[in-house]
Structures are given as C-alpha cells and as structure tokens.
Structure 1
Amino acid sequence: MDFKQLRYFHEIVRLGSFTRAAEALYVAQPAVSVAIRKLEAELDLTLFHRNDRKVTLTDEGTRLLPHAQRILQAVSDAQLEMQELKGLTQGMVRVGIPGMLGSYYFPPILMAFRHRFPHLSLQVVEGGTWQLQQMLEGGELDLAVIVRDFVPPELEAVTIQREEMRVIVPKEHPFAYQASVSLPEFFAEELVMFRPGYFHRKIIDRLAQEAGVTPKIGFETNLLPLIKSIIKQGFGISTLLTMVVKEDPELVDLPFEQPLWLDLCIAWRQAGYLSRANRAFVDFLLEQSAH
C-alpha cells in the first residue's frame, strides 16, 4: 500500500462517499475507485460495503482505519518539521476551546498572542470537551483546552488555569442569602445545563451519579446568554465559572458546600509533533497563567 491509497481511503471514510472524496481531493472519481480497488487487491480484503446511498466500512476496513490515521498524521508531522528546518517564518495554530472559556477567558489572550506573533495564524474552534478531544486525537486540531479530569492517556497536558465552578442563582433566590449550597440542595432545584459533551455537563452528571440522584434539567442549551437569561427569569439555576457572571448584578454566584475546583489544561497528542507555532502558543499560555 502507498500513501496516496491510504489518503484516498481516509477521505472516503470521512465523507462517506467516493464522489465527495474525489471532490475534496481534487481528483477524478474513477482515480479514487481504481486506487481503492488496487489497495483491496493488494491486501486481498474488501474494505468497503458499497451501495447507492452510502459507503460504509467492512470489519477489515474498520481495522485498517486507525493505522491509516496514524500513518497520515505521521507524514503530516514529518512534512511540518521539515518545513520548519528550512526556516519557515509562518505558521498556523489550530486550537479548540470550550464555550465558556472561549467567550470570557480567551479573547484577550488570543489578541495578545496575535500582537506578539503577528506572522502566525490562529484557527479557533469552539466546542464541547468530547468533541474537541476527538478532533485533537484525529489530527483536526493541534491543541485543545480540556479539564484535567478528562485528559485521556493518549494526550499530553499542562495546567494553565484553576477555576471554581460556582452555583449561579438570581439575586431574589433563597440560595442568594446562603454562604454555600450543598449538593442535595442543588439537585433539588430545576437546572439549566449545557448539552451532553461539555465539561460543565459532564461534571454535573458525574456529581449526580455519585450522589445517586437524577438531575431535574428543565433547559438544555450551549448558549451562555440564554442560560443567564433563564436564570434571571427564575426558571432554573445552574453552575458556571465565576468569570461568566462576575460583572452581572442580576446574578449571584456562591460556592458548593465542598468547593468544586477545575484544573484547565492545554493538551496535544502525545505522539504528535508540536510545531514551533504551537509551542509558542503553549509557552504564551503558561506565561499568561503565571501572571
């Protein structure tokens, strides 16, 4: 098998179609079909179930996919490292950031980074912890900000910030006059939560499981302004980072009875090549967190 065959194979899997893969690769569709037939003949295996509507992997194709992903990523890493050895003066940082941090913590940091490194490009993807982790492991991102509790062994991670998850209530709520909120008190209330896959939701689901309760989730949304609006109108409470509400006079934030601290990390693939642009971004984050 050769690199081109594996690249074609990977694009067909990613897009679910020989035709769409050919379009993404800027080659004729018959060329893609011929390359895959040669690969299947060389391996003496069938890699795809072919039908009119959708192309899916056979069991053998499923076994080949992770090998193809690792090989393609290794070639990409090698090409990048060789370019840098030639004195590449430009670079791209592809970083994934959870919604809460993308809206409140990171904007000034990203602007400061661009000011210091104007020749580097930033591509920022906002998403849930699980989505960002999958994109990172799949090579679609170079870096991602995730919570220490959810860092898998395949990723390298460095802590950049420690933040507290606080209970958020409207100023008229009875909790607003308490020093703290216990978990039973919290879970007795109607909740406004991020959708599954976000670290905010994963933590609450874990706490509920440990407490043996089912959260009463009245609203699910990833839109922070909507979450805050629902809380203000008295239709539920939530838990968010302090930075989200610290300048909002209509909302009160208070700690859990046992404070809930999160270690936020910048993570990358352990086996991947961290380019000079990405190393500069990691070093800059560590420098900012030290301040």
Structure 2
Amino acid sequence: MTMPFDLRSLRVFLAVVDEGGFSAAARSLHLAQSAVSQTIATLEQRLGLTLFQRRERRVGLTPEGEALVGRARDLLARAEATHLAMRELHDLVKGELRIGIPSMLGSYYFPPLLMGFKARHPGIRLTVVEAGARRLQAMIAGGELDLGVVIDDGASRHLTRRPLVSEEMVVCVPRDHPFASRDGVSPAAFFAEPLVLFQDGYFHREFVDTLARETGADADIAFESNLIPLTKAIVRQGFGITTFLRRVVEEPALAAVSFDPPAWLSLSLAWAEGAYLSRAERAFVDFVLDHR
C-alpha cells in the first residue's frame, strides 16, 4: 500500500504551521514558495483533505489540518529517533546535547558536572538552556530539549525521571537581620516581611506560592527578579528577604536560616517518556547520577 505522504511533505506541512504561512515556511526551509505550495497541494490531493484555509495574506488550519499536526510531529520524532539509532549501530554518537537547567542549579550545582562531562567527552557539544522548571518540563515533553532538571512533585507527567538531588529551601536574609540569629523561621514570620521573588514559572516562586496557600498567608512582594545576583544585592541592602536553595546563600554578607518546619525540594533529571536516548544522552545521565 502506498502511503499518501512522505516525511519531507510532513516537514513542509509543519513548517507552514509553525511559521504561520507559506512565504515564511519557504524562507525557513530555504525553498521557493512555489515548491512549498506545490508540496502542500500534493499532500492535500493524496490525503483527499483540505489542510489549510487560504485567506488573503492569512493561512489557517482546517479541523483536518489540526488533526494532522500532532500525528505529523510524532511521526517525525520517531523517524529521527530511528535514524539516530541506525547511525549509532555504526558507532556514530549524537554530537549535541540540549540540557535544560533551572537558574539556581545552573549557577551553583551544575557547572562542575558539565565541565567534568565535557572533559570526559570533548567531542560532544553541550547546549544549556536556563529557564523556569515548568517551562523546562514543556520543552522536554515537546522535544525542544533532550534532558532537563524538573521538580519531582508528580506534576511532570509524560516524563521519565531519575532522582537527582534533595535540597533545603532556606530563608535568605542580611547578616544583621533579626532572623539571622534564629534556628528557624515560621512561614507566618517569613510572609510578614517584604519579599524578593522570582517570576511565575520558576520553582522558587512556585515554592513560595504553595507555602502561602498552605498557610493562608499573603505574600508582600517588594521586587520580582529572575536574576540571582540582583536578588542577592536587594537582600544585602535590606530592601527585602527571599528564599533560596541553601547552597546559593553561601556568602559572608547573607545568612541562610531554615524554615520551621524545614522545607525540602526534590529535583530529578528527566527526559520525554518513551524517548530514545542516544549514547551521548545515556552517558550524560550516567555521569550526572554517578557524581551527584
């Protein structure tokens, strides 16, 4: 039985979807617009379906086109995994790893691991993406990243996870702050202070929002910043306090004080459920788990 489409036509189809039109798709694929239009017309003819609604200067998906998008992405992902597996039968290793890391871990936990892995495998290029934990989950599930670090809270569905590290979230204050001499800080006391917090989508902010819901407190947000050095500077100057992983607070001008009761976060190394791991990806997973 002859298939009504090939992988090339599906790539062109998805390019039109992702780029929002035939002209933009042609530019991204380095093809003539006429070639893109002909490929889509042939695909529609073979399927016996209309995939796009063609309006003046606008292109939209029909319901049939919408139904094809997910299946097309899945087929192309499977084809890429198969191609990679066949290449590796000839000892060819994937030359790039795309890794997603939350900012706190990217700055204070992962650099030695990344450098150690690079020293052992100098031929593998590492592309590191720093973003909020929820954004990283979506990027891994969508195939934009090969591996990433996620919060091990049960919400990361469709991901295969390996426990990585359990870290204490602590209250971060200046050394001369009244909290600095305490053994623990209650959530109520924490929320009574002006806070410097990450924006939505980061596990730092999600931790604080969850703590607020659980205790019925309202957060007094003085500043929002995803930049750790800026957040530390604001705290050092006494304009607010924050919470960090304990290892992030290690500097003379700041004090790390446990919450009362202590609060811990479990983080995992994750990849898309059912995804084929190349030798490079498997080597990275093994290296990180061996050097936790």
TM over 0.5: yes
Amino acid at match of 1:233: Q
* 1:280 and 2:290 matched: no
Partner of 1:204: 208
1:216-227 to 2 correspondence within 5 Å? 216-227=220-231
Partner of 1:250: 253
Partner of 1:96: 100
Partner of 2:21: 17
Partner of 2:67: 63
Tell me, which stretches of 5 or more residues in structure 1 are unaligned? none
Relative distance call for 1:169 and 1:59 in structure 2 (3 A) is farther
Amino acid at match of 1:16: G
Q: Deviations over 1:223-271 (max 9, x none)?
A: 110000111111111111112121x111111111021111111100112
| Identity %, equivalent residues | 49
Relative distance call for 1:55 and 1:180 in structure 2 (3 A) is farther
Q: Deviations over 1:44-101 (max 9, x none)?
A: 4443344566544344433322212111111111111111011115522111111111
Q: Structure 2: how far apart are the matches of 1:73 and 1:32?
A: 21
* 1:259 and 2:262 matched: yes
Determine helix, strand or coil for the equivalent of 1:257: strand
Aligned CA RMSD, in angstroms, stands at 1.8
Contact in 2 for aligned 1:89/1:119 (Cα 8 Å): no
Determine helix, strand or coil for the equivalent of 1:191: strand
Amino acid at match of 2:269: I
Q: Structure 2: how far apart are the matches of 1:209 and 1:41?
A: 55
* 1:128 and 2:129 matched: no
Q: Structure 1: how far apart are the matches of 2:288 and 2:18?
A: 32
Determine helix, strand or coil for the equivalent of 1:255: strand
Q: Normalization by structure 1: what TM-score? A: 0.92
Q: Structure 2: how far apart are the matches of 1:233 and 1:56?
A: 52
Q: Structure 2: how far apart are the matches of 1:83 and 1:209?
A: 50
Contact in 1 for aligned 2:162/2:268 (Cα 8 Å): yes
Q: Give the number of equivalent residue pairs.
A: 288
Determine helix, strand or coil for the equivalent of 2:92: coil
Tell me, which stretches of 5 or more residues in structure 2 are unaligned? none
Q: Structure 2: how far apart are the matches of 1:13 and 1:251?
A: 50
Q: Structure 2: how far apart are the matches of 1:161 and 1:192?
A: 25
Q: Structure 1: how far apart are the matches of 2:186 and 2:8?
A: 58
Partner of 2:243: 239
Greater shift, 137-146 or 5-14, is seen at 5-14
Greater shift, 38-47 or 168-177, is seen at 38-47
Q: 1:143 aligned to 120, 126, 147, which one?
A: 147
Q: Structure 2: how far apart are the matches of 1:153 and 1:35?
A: 36
Relative distance call for 1:210 and 1:83 in structure 2 (3 A) is same
Partner of 1:75: 79
